Structure 1
Amino acid sequence: MDDQVFIDASGTRRLKDKELVVPIIVGTVAFSLGKKASESSSHRWTVYLRSPNNEDLSYLVSQVRFDLHQTFQNPQRVVESQPFEVTEHGWGEFDIIVHVYFTLDSGVREAILYHKLRLYEDGEQPGCKQDPKKPVVTETFEELVFSEPRVDFYQRITHHQPSLLLPPSQLAPFFTTINPTLELDMIHRSRMKVASMVRDLALSSGLAAH
């Protein structure tokens, strides 16, 4: 048997000490309702999950569940096809929980992400005048990490040929341009910095104890 492959408890072949990393973006786009605003509805907003290059995610993601604030009717919204997005109206900002469900061959049920809905830019206050045609866009770059993935799943994902999502999301013109390579590099640098700080802290604590 290949030294890089092992058999898990269920008899599935997996890659030893290997990680499969897939970049993903969670975001919100919020439009002010302007003169149509009311006390209970000042904005129309959309929360979404997308790929950095607006590609089709169906090769990896089977469905997405967005957990909204409990004050919304039916706060758990399940989207089973692309684009993975939910549009609502409201007046307040809150944290949205995003459950990402994967294809069966991944062997992983879901990943849970968190995203803050923002209706105002930094420095703006509720009730301030906003341009209804200029939305507030907030996006978070994330990594989906599959540790010691199944061999067949790893091979399928790494050999997948990307294709653009058709038709594209109507919000695509407002998406920010993100370079996954640069974002991943920043994340890896941050991880290394944190690991170094942890080592330094452990070392200083050890010296203090003597």
Structure 2
Amino acid sequence: MSFQSQNIQVTIEFGHHATFRKKPSAEGYTHDWTVFVRGPEGSKIQHYVEKVVFQLHESFSKPKRVVKDPPYQVSESGYAGFNLPIVIYFRSKEKPKKLSFDYDLFLHADQCTNHVHYEQLTFTNPNEEFRQKLLKACGVSTFVNVCTA
């Protein structure tokens, strides 16, 4: 016996860019940086993303940053890189309602940094409402035959 399962795949970009300051700030900051979550080639992930939470290092004022509208990004200044947990919340009533990622916000001494990481997400048999949201954001639909014993 077999049945068809529908998968919807979307791609998300995580990344950051950092510029090196010619002269450190009074606080000793050597870089200005922006960390982001976005869709590739301008795809509108806000159709299926409710919000993105960036958990900055505890040394920052208000380290938990919640971004509910695009662009999903945070800009700050600093002098060192750190591990930055990112949680993406979906516009879905079904699980998964969120996904967590650990992002390495690294800085290069004396130079600028541009880094992008692509993550492909697969949602299996999403409900019709969420399926439409994924497809609006350039999601790709595939069908898979599933065999049962």
* Same fold, TM-score > 0.5, yes or no: yes
Q: Which runs of 5+ in 2 are unaligned?
A: 139-149
Q: What corresponds to 2:40 in structure 1? A: 52
Q: What corresponds to 1:145 in structure 2? A: 122
Identify which of 81, 100, 108 aligns with 2:96: 108
Which has more strand, going by share of residues?
A: 2
1:41 pairs with 2:29: yes
Please report how far the alpha carbon of residue 154 of structure 1 lies from its aligned counterpart in structure 2 after TM superposition.
Answer: 2.1
Please report how far the alpha carbon of residue 29 of structure 1 lies from its aligned counterpart in structure 2 after TM superposition.
Answer: 0.6
Deviations 1:71-105 (A, max 9, x none): 21211100011100001111011111110011135
Which has more helix, going by share of residues?
A: 1
Supply the RMSD in Å over aligned alpha carbons.
2.1
Distance in 2 (CA, whole Å) between partners of 1:99 and 1:93 is: 19
Q: Which of 1 and 2 has higher RCO (CA within 8 Å, sep 6+)? A: 2
Residue identity (%)? 29
Please report how far the alpha carbon of residue 22 of structure 1 lies from its aligned counterpart in structure 2 after TM superposition.
Answer: 0.7
Q: Relative to 1, partners in 2 of residues 1:21 and 1:30: Cα closer, same or farther, differing over 3 Å?
A: same
Equivalent position amino acid for 1:59 in 2: H
Identify which of 48, 65, 69 aligns with 2:57: 69
Contact 1:101 1:110 in 2 (8 A): yes
Moved more, 149-158 or 78-87: 149-158
**Stretches of 4+ moved more than 6 A in 1?**
none
Q: What corresponds to 1:27 in structure 2? A: 15
Contact 2:32 2:76 in 1 (8 A): yes
TM norm structure 1 = 0.58
Q: Relative to 1, partners in 2 of residues 1:148 and 1:100: Cα closer, same or farther, differing over 3 Å?
A: same
Q: What corresponds to 1:157 in structure 2? A: 134
Q: What corresponds to 2:72 in structure 1? A: 84
Deviations 1:178-198 (A, max 9, x none): xxxxxxxxxxxxxxxxxxxxx
Q: Which runs of 5+ in 1 are unaligned?
A: 5-16, 121-125, 163-210
Paired positions, count? 136
Q: Relative to 1, partners in 2 of residues 1:47 and 1:37: Cα closer, same or farther, differing over 3 Å?
A: same
TM norm structure 2 = 0.79
Please report how far the alpha carbon of residue 147 of structure 1 lies from its aligned counterpart in structure 2 after TM superposition.
Answer: 2.9
